[in-house]
Amino acid sequence: MSTKVLIVDDEIEFASTLAERLVIRDYDAKAVYTAEDAITAVQSEPPDVVLLDLRMPGANGFEVLSTIKSVDPSIEVILLTGQLKSESVVEGIPTGLFDYIVKPVDIAELVKKINSASEKRNSGTP
């Protein structure tokens, strides 16, 4: 069964193209563009891995992360960020974040991180 990936980013062009690139690589990928739609998608069709933009209109990425974890703690979240040396990203790791990736995204690196996140979810390790 394909790994289910939910991409959450208000940059529609970026998120939809990334979803397409992941579908080509046999992932079951879907893009949503608001924090509200992300929460709805996580509740109705829980993904294995969420790629979450840190900065979205009216929403803090860490608050969205916390809501996702409250729905299902086993969903792994990878943060998408434009800040290479962001202290806030590093600080987020102990609070349930699996990893982060810096934009512009390298697809090979992203695929590796998605696979590791998916393996962790399937192994059931906390």
Partner 1 sequence: MEHDKLTPSQFNFIGTILSLFSHEMNNHLAIVKNSVGLIGDFIRLGKTSRKDLQEILKTIQSIENQIEETSYFCDNLSGFGHGMEKPLSTFSVHKCVEELIILLRRLASQRRVQLEKNLSVNIPLIHNNPLMLQFLIFCFIEKNLKRLDDNSKIIIKTTYSNNSIEISIIPKGNFIKDEEGICKDEIYQQLIRQLGGNISQKTAGEEITIQLPISQSSAAT
Q: Which residues bind partner 1 (CB under 8 A)?
A: 10-11, 13-14, 17-18, 20-21, 24, 55-58, 82, 103-105, 107
Task: Using the minimum distance from each CB to partner 1, give the nearer residue, 73 or 82.
Answer: 82
Task: Using the minimum distance from each CB to partner 1, give the nearer residue, 17 or 70.
Answer: 17
* Paired tokens of 12: 């529609």
| Torsion angle in degrees (nearest 10) through CA of 103, 107, 110, 112 | -150
Residues forming beta bridges with residue 50, ordered by sequence position: 6, 77
HSE on the CB side for 99, CA within 13 Å?
14
Task: Using the minimum distance from each CB to partner 1, give the nearer residue, 32 or 75.
Answer: 32
Name the minimum Å distance from CB 74 to partner 1: 28
